[in-house]
Amino acid sequence: MSLCLNMIDSSTILDKKIFLLYKIFTASDFVYELKKNIFKCNHAVQLFITEFELLALSNEIIDLLPTEKTIDIVISSVSQKKSLRLVNLFNRIVQSGGSVYWNENHELYQNGVHFMILDKTFVINKSDYYAGESSEEKIKYLNNLFDNFRVSSNEIKLITGQISIKLEAEKTFVERNKYVKLRWEVENAHRVSFENGAEELEHTGEMEILIKNDTIVKLEAENREKKLSKQLIIKVYKSNAVEITVEAMDNTIKEYLVLKGGGFQNEEYYAFQGQKIRLSWSIDTMGKFSEKVIGDLPLEGDYFFFLTHQTIFEFTYDSLYGTQKNKIVINPAPEELEEHEKIEKKQKKTLFGLVKDFSRFKKKRKHN
């Protein structure tokens, strides 16, 4: 299968304000706390535990399977031996869309580096071994640790012809307004798509999405016998930096498209004469935000205008962390680029490669 690559706004998948406060604690009775709290998850469970802890938790895991919550498990072990009971449990988890990985590492096993993460925000661990001061920093560290364990482990796969979905993101904790690359691989399905998506996807592919808020990405696959889905969560963490997104209205598809900056500090943007522009921002920490001409601005908001000439914005953000300045220059595109755009639109593309070209994600149609 060929790989697909594109950039889209995460709102075309599923964009949500997902969670509330970060919480983390070390359990004196690890298995008891797992049993007690695992049903508090709304969307996803990540477990890095031993095979014995998984077997002790098997009834709770089985009860979660019909709920379509994402279950990712990395087993910490000192050998490759697996009991029949364990293999049967693996099969049930994988058949229901969960993922199981086997990590053979004596040192890791002995150090007791085991934990559960619920919805990217709530952690129960067996011992204190993380870095960072705030709960958010600690949980971000553990999420990254889990991803590293998963990548370095062997995935448990079914030998049967049932649907198999592998969905991954290069990062699951990101700053707001950053692009994240998704990769997926689906087997034994005749249709693959994002949830509520009319467009079919290649069985193997990748794309980049713009993350503005906490985002759930859900991939669905089906064949004549079954429909299966897998989702992942991408969490936005607080940052002291001010990120301003520049978008232009594409009158063909009637949507705002993100512009990419250029120049020495990526502060220069190009759009067409008369095109409607939107600047948007969301600042996580307290402070004062303003623009040289516009004046004081809210910490989260938008600013719209029509581009008639070179327009320069000079933003200032004052907080406990100091003063940050952002300069944005938006230029009308040269006439030759406008002519080039007219040609590109005939091929359903847009200037600067910013418009979603969903045809690249459709299954390749057979040529007559």
How confident is the prediction for the chain on average, in pLDDT? Answer: 82
Task: Say whether pLDDT at 172 is over 90.
Answer: no
Is the pLDDT at 50 greater than 60? The verdict is yes
Of 3.40.50.1700, 3.40.50.410, 3.40.1450.10, 3.30.870.10, the CATH number of 1-238 is: 3.30.870.10
User: Average pLDDT in the 268-279 region?
Assistant: 94
Which of the pair, 38 or 359, is modelled with greater confidence?
38
Contact 34, 57 (CB under 8 A): yes
Average pLDDT, integer, range 346-368: 37
Q: Where are the domains of the chain?
A: 1-238, 244-353
State which H helix or E strand residue 326 sits in: strand 322-332
Question: Exposed/middle/buried for 286, CB within 10 Å: 0-12, 13-18, 19+?
Answer: exposed
Q: What's at 302, amino acid-wise?
A: D
- Asked if residue 139 has pLDDT above 90, the reply is no
Terminal-residue alpha carbon distance, the chain: 21
Cβ partners under 8 Å of residue 330, min gap 6 = 246, 268, 269, 270, 271, 277, 307, 310, 311, 312, 313
- Per the CB < 8 A criterion, the answer to whether 310 and 277 are in contact is no
Percent of the chain, pLDDT > 70? 81
What is the chain's percent helix, strand, coil content, to nearest 5? Answer: 25, 40, 40
Query: Token pair for residue 351?
Result: 């200037």
Q: Which residue has the higher pLDDT, 182 or 240?
A: 182
* pLDDT at site 15: 45
Quote the strand ranges of 16-133, DSSP E. 23-26, 44-50, 70-77, 99-104, 115-118, 122-125
* pLDDT of 364 over the 50 cut: no
Confidence check: pLDDT of 207 > 80 = yes
* Run of H or E including 165: strand 164-169
Instruction: Inform me whether the pLDDT recorded for 246 exceeds 70.
Output: yes
d(CA 68, CA 275): 43
Task: Decide if pLDDT at 310 tops 90.
Answer: yes
pLDDT tier at 137, thresholds 50, 70, 90: confident
DSSP-assigned beta bridge partners for residue 46:
72, 117
Q: Which of 179-188, 242-251, 349-358 has the lowest mean pLDDT?
A: 349-358
Q: How far apart are CA 344 and CA 290, in angstroms?
A: 38
Q: Could you tell me which CATH number the domain at 244-353 has?
A: 2.60.40
> What's the pTM value of the predicted model, to 2 decimals?
0.62
Is there a common fold for 1-238 and 244-353?
Answer: no
Q: If you average pLDDT over residues 141-148, what whole number do you get?
A: 90
What is the β-pairing status of strands 154-155 and 70-77?
unpaired
The residue with greater pLDDT, 360 or 331, is 331
pLDDT of residue 266: 59
The band of 357, judged by pLDDT with boundaries at 50, 70 and 90, is: very low
